[in-house]
Structure 1
Amino acid sequence: MKILCLHGKGTSGRIFKSQTGICTASSLHNHQLTWIASLRSKLETVIPEFEFDFVDGPQPSSPAPDTPLFYEPPHYAFYEGTDISAIRAGHKWLRGTLERNGPYDGVLMFSQGCALVSSYMLYQQWYEPNAPPPFHFAMFICGGVPITALKDLGVHVSKEVEDLDARTKKQLLEKTTAEVTRDRWQLTDYASVVRRAQFDSDDCFGLNLNKIPAELKIRIPTVHVFGEKDPRLPASIQLAGLCDPYIRKVYNHGGGHEIPRAKDISEELAQLLQWCAIRGTWPGQDTMHR
């Protein structure tokens, strides 16, 4: 089983590998808990071989605002800016990567990696409806679909959604927390708002999921990991709402725009990735939900 791993903007494959703690078994020491250690113990009896492929984005980039100083350059991005031509150029690079290094069974992503893959899959489903999906399963961590991609695909995006998207991106750059969602949705009970927004909602943080056609809903098993303090929380939940609710799981790691490293959370994520990998490779999965 081969899993493509895509980092966030302003980091790299090497940094993403370090952030997730995915390494070879021989490098474990001092009882360090890593995703791979937990994942291997859970999957080895079901899936005998698996491989994580960490790649660098094609564009040199300045370091992300939240990248620790001990992560040395170079830093990369999959695309720069938010215009559709840049995103589509990222899609071209991804297609080339899949052709050269694939096929892949699954994909594990953080932040801009999520934006790249989710939008790529939606474009493929819309323009190549008979093509098989590029992956059998996906885990999205703190990321959403670019609003410009949704608009280009014909989805109605209100000014409210665009303003919220711009505001959360600004807060992320300024390293502030998710107060952005408290002005309208009053997240005193944010969990119920998040839960309600995922299921065919006409108000998923301003996006009407009921008016989006089935061709623009991702139909492979997915896991969506978000942090309640992440300014980009709305984008993560909107992406979850664009995936099949019957083969989807959502997990709140409790923090901000980050890859969680705590032992108990790592174990939960390993279990979620296990579920997603097994569900995505069930016989008949490729022909379901089309």
Structure 2
Amino acid sequence: MRVLMLHGHATSATIFKAQMMPIMGKLGNAYTFDFVDGPVSCPPPKGMGHLIPTAYTWFKTPSLEGLRESADWLTNYIEKNGPYDCICTFSKGAVPVITMMMDESRDGHERRMRCAPKCVVFMNGSIEYALLEENGLPVSDQARRTKYKCESTVKAKQDSMAAISRATVKPVGGIWDDKKGLLHNAKKIPPPSNCYGLDFNFLPQESLINMPSAHIVGAKDPIFPSGVQLANLFNPDLQSFHDHQGGHDLPRTPQVTNHIAGVFRQLNVATCA
């Protein structure tokens, strides 16, 4: 299985590779992973500048034009370096993949479909609403407020790492352990008809992405709602949903590492059947 790896916002291929090392160590030579930097440079989070001297992201703006530019970049990259059996993304790395596969109204859709993988893995997935609106899905004010609050909480927690690194007394636990302000209950997944302010019944059935997908979220992750919304864009009969119980990260516990490695094995079997 050949896997294209897309990092999250304001990070890098090097950081994503370091996050994935324990998982890759559980998989044999039948799996190869291609880590790539996003096409847009950006400042790293305030608290992570010492870890990420140069950071990247996938689009200049979350407008429809910006998302399409990111999808065009991804399509060109895959044409040159692919094909790939699987695309695995972290957080906003999901956005160019979704845009590439859902933007049917634009010229070149057949070309993009030729670049599509056999399956996808989304870790702590995040979406942008411009493309959903283009596909006929109304976006409520509630959905916009929820998205803004969730992403602001993630940014605040990441920025707090700078203060933690300077503190003489370190806090007990990690930055994601404080669950105050979370807008979701990980034990109660909302129905598609009211998924954190979105009604996916308005999304035409033919717009669903019809391929095996794995959706890995974290119960302590402020953008958990976005990961659940992302899952609603895929055929429910071909998807699996997993909770690593952490925050906006990949916990390095043996249990989580073994489980995510198992996700890749299951997708490999499913796509080779």
TM-score (norm 1): 0.80
Offset, 1:116: 2.0
1:147–1:234 CA distance, 2 compared to 1 (3 A): same
What is the rounded CA distance, in whole Å, between the counterparts of 1:119 and 1:261 in structure 2? 30
Q: Does the alignment pair 1:212 with 2:198?
A: no
Task: Name the aligned partner's letter for residue 10 of structure 1.
Answer: A
> Is the CA contact 1:114–1:143 (under 8 Å) kept in the aligned structure 2?
yes
Offset, 1:153: 2.5
Q: Secondary structure at the match of 1:261?
A: coil
1:274–1:68 CA distance, 2 compared to 1 (3 A): farther
What is the rounded CA distance, in whole Å, between the counterparts of 2:47 and 2:70 in structure 1? 23
1:275–1:124 CA distance, 2 compared to 1 (3 A): farther
Q: Does the alignment pair 1:60 with 2:62?
A: no
1:162–1:105 CA distance, 2 compared to 1 (3 A): same
Q: Does the alignment pair 1:16 with 2:16?
A: yes
Tell me the matched-pair count: 251
What is the rounded CA distance, in whole Å, between the counterparts of 1:19 and 1:105 in structure 2? 21
Aligned to 2:24: 36
Aligned to 2:93: 113
Q: Does the alignment pair 1:181 with 2:178?
A: no
Post-superposition Cα deviations, 1:66-92, rounded to whole Å, max 9, x if no partner, equal 6473x2422111113322222111111
1:125–1:273 CA distance, 2 compared to 1 (3 A): farther
* Mapping of residues 1-290 of structure 1, within 5 Å: 1-21=1-21, 34-40=22-28, 49-64=30-45, 67=48, 69=50, 71-124=51-104, 128=109, 131-132=113-114, 134-175=116-157, 177=179, 179-181=181-183, 187=185, 190-191=186-187, 193-194=188-189, 196-197=190-191, 201-282=192-273
Offset, 1:277: 2.1
Give unpaired runs (5+ residues) of structure 1: 22-33, 283-290
Post-superposition Cα deviations, 1:44-72, rounded to whole Å, max 9, x if no partner, equal 6xxxx331100111111111356473x24
Offset, 1:223: 0.6
What is the rounded CA distance, in whole Å, between the counterparts of 1:166 and 1:249 in structure 2? 27
> Is the CA contact 2:135–2:203 (under 8 Å) kept in the aligned structure 1?
no
Offset, 1:179: 2.5
Post-superposition Cα deviations, 1:87-141, rounded to whole Å, max 9, x if no partner, equal 1111111011011101111011101111221222111488737944601011100
What is the rounded CA distance, in whole Å, between the counterparts of 2:45 and 2:96 in structure 1? 17
Post-superposition Cα deviations, 1:147-178, rounded to whole Å, max 9, x if no partner, equal 12211232111111111111211111112757
What is the rounded CA distance, in whole Å, between the counterparts of 1:135 and 1:83 in structure 2? 25
Give unpaired runs (5+ residues) of structure 2: 158-175
Runs of 4+ in 1 over 2 A off after TM superposition: 64-69, 124-133, 176-180
Offset, 1:273: 1.3
What is the rounded CA distance, in whole Å, between the counterparts of 1:117 and 1:67 in structure 2? 26
CA RMSD of aligned residues (A): 2.2
What is the rounded CA distance, in whole Å, between the counterparts of 2:144 and 2:264 in structure 1? 31
> Is the CA contact 2:78–2:115 (under 8 Å) kept in the aligned structure 1?
no
Offset, 1:215: 2.3
